[in-house]
Amino acid sequence: MEELEKCQFGHRARLAPSPAQERLLDDQGHAARALWNLLHNWWTMLPKHRRTLAAADAAIRQARTDPEEGLEWLAVLPAQAAQAVLKTYFQAWRNCWEGRCGPPNFKARFRTLMCVDVPQGRDLQVARVHRRWGMVNIPKVGRVRFRWTKDLPVGKRADAGNRITGARLVKNALGWHIAFRVQTLEPVPAPHCGPHVGIDAGVKIPLALSDGDHQDHGRPRTSGGKADRDKWLTPAEKAKLVRLERRAAHRKSFRKPGERSSRRLQRTYDQIRALRATAKRRSLDWQHQTTTRLADRYGTIVVEDLNIVGMVKSAKGTVEAPGKNVAQKSGLNRAIHQEAWGRTVQMLTYKTARRGGALHKVPAAGTSRECHSCHTTTPGSREDQATFVCKNPECGWTGNADLNAACNILHRYRTGHALVPAAGRAVVRRARRVKPTTAR
């Protein structure tokens, strides 16, 4: 019999609620946020010895049912979702005590991601109704359609091992989405026998491969400037973004200090946010498709171990010692940020592992200055950002700088410089536990 192992992943889909359903969802989102704030207020005012999970639970139950409290509006939130807020709040404190982040804070009406939990999978009753549409039950809202983009274990295909264990509803600038928690039993993959490849996050090409291939998204990539920031938008959308930003600045100029932004200004801000969210969705989609393709084709993928946070920080410098060429470097940094190299590596880690392959990291120092043909580092070898010219008189290799770096990365792995000894199954588990990303 084939060996099976448990897999857990998240899958995010766009909801298509009717206007009435959307209002109900908004109400639930605001109630969940308000409940968090009440809870935070209650928790921080209480003497330490009375701060317990049971006391918080009792306080929430009383607030929801007692008419004296004047919190009837909390009843729009299903009881399970209210419990989930408490659980998330408690976890936030645990994260703080264990040193992973700072203490939880109040959630502002704006600038906060609205979310509502549906912690139990059996409440959802997911069904596929069309090639592209599914239906899901949301407590106190009803049946809502969502985009069907992945085969989920529902109906006859659901059993103890393969099922949806819960969901979270999240609202961003493009509207409400549902993130399913899915659990499946998958056969343990056989080792992937595909070729080795080194990948470099290039300056001119998003991903340069050591076998001369590259993964491009066909979008302009200048370093720095507005064109770079909005490269995922079409020219028409870019023009619209500029117009909206100007309009927002104009409207804002009429606002007196301390005055609330007008409804029209808020609407302009929402439109800007929606365009940015569209750009982000497109870049995520490209990243998912590319990393899936790479993990399918190659058995071993080698990348350089970039300290992205450090790179971005060092350009700015400190007040005492400001960095040199801050503008140029911050252009480069923005490009690094935008290609979201860390996320690419994270996706490659779990996708290679799921196919029996592995991802390795090698030290990054000097990979772009060394010649991959004769392995010497000569001064002035980078003619410009795109071309590499070896100044060693016996070699003189000339070519694409990103390709050269990718070859160096693979060479370092082959000569035994890999940092992490084998990204086996343990790494996958860790990666999945940290963040269940949208899996393809």
Sole window of 6-14, 120-128, 150-158, 389-397 interacting with Zn ion (rule: CB under 5 A): 389-397
Eight-class DSSP state of 191:
P
CB of 394 to Zn ion, least distance (A): 8
CA distances from 248 to 83, 231, 232 (A): 39, 21, 22
Q: What are phi and psi of 321, to 5 degrees?
A: -125, 80
The token pair at 183 is 């659990």
> Minimum distance from CB of 378 to Zn ion (Å)?
7
**How far is Cα of residue 273 from the mean position of the Cα atoms in its chain?**
17
Distance of alpha carbon 327 from alpha carbon 324, whole angstroms:
9
CB of 181 to Zn ion, least distance (A): 52
**How far apart (Å, rounded) are the C-alpha atoms in residues 431 and 425?**
10
Smallest gap from Cβ 414 to Zn ion, in A, equals 18
Q: How far, CA to CA in Å, does 404 sit from each of 130, 201, 211, 366, 372?
A: 48, 12, 10, 11, 6
Tell how far CA 42 is from the center of its chain: 32
Q: To the nearest whole angstrom, how small is the minimum distance from the Cβ of residue 375 to Zn ion?
A: 7
Nearest to Zn ion of 94, 391 (CB atom)? 391
**Residue 397 binding Zn ion, by CB under 5 A:** yes
Of 357-386, binders to Zn ion (CB under 5 A) are: 371, 373-374
Q: Which residues of 338-353 are buried (b: 16+ CB within 10 A; e: fewer)?
A: bbbbebbbbbbbbbbb
CA dihedral 266, 271, 276, 281 (to 10 degrees): 120
- Helix, strand, coil percentages (3-state) for the chain, rounded to 5, are 45, 20, 35
Q: Rank residues 40 and 372 by Cβ distance to Zn ion and give the closer one.
A: 372
Q: Which two tokens stand for residue 326?
A: 């801050």
Q: Does residue 389 touch Zn ion according to CB under 5 A?
A: no
Task: Cite the DSSP H helix spans in 218-325.
Answer: 225-229, 235-252, 263-297, 308-316
Alpha carbon 130 to chain centroid distance?
A: 29
Q: Choose which of 31, 315, 390, 431 interacts with Zn ion (CB under 5 A).
A: 390
Q: Which one, 332 or 374, has the nearer CB to Zn ion?
A: 374
Site string for Zn ion, 318-357 (x = CB under 5 A): ----------------------------------------
Residue in 95, 392, 400, 438 binding Zn ion, rule: CB under 5 A: 392
In this structure, which amino acid lies at residue 22? E
Shortest Å distance, C-beta 404 to Zn ion: 9
Binding of residue 387 to Zn ion (CB under 5 A): no
Which window, 19-27, 42-50, 261-269, 387-395, contacts Zn ion (CB under 5 A)? 387-395
- Which three-class secondary structure state does DSSP give residue 117? strand
Among 16, 395, 420, 427, binds Zn ion (CB under 5 A): 395
- Residue 367 or 437 with smaller CB distance to Zn ion: 367
Q: Which stretch binds Zn ion (CB under 5 A): 180-188, 238-246, 289-297, 394-402?
A: 394-402
Q: Which of residues 123-162 bind Zn ion (CB under 5 A)?
A: none
Give me the least distance between CB of 411 and Zn ion, in Å please: 13
Give the number of residues in contact with Zn ion, rule: CB under 5 A: 7
Query: Which one, 142 or 399, has the nearer CB to Zn ion?
Result: 399
Q: Give the DSSP letter of residue 419.
A: S
- Minimum CB–partner distance for residue 390 and Zn ion (Å): 3
Q: Which residues bind Zn ion (CB under 5 A)?
A: 371, 373-374, 390, 392, 395, 397
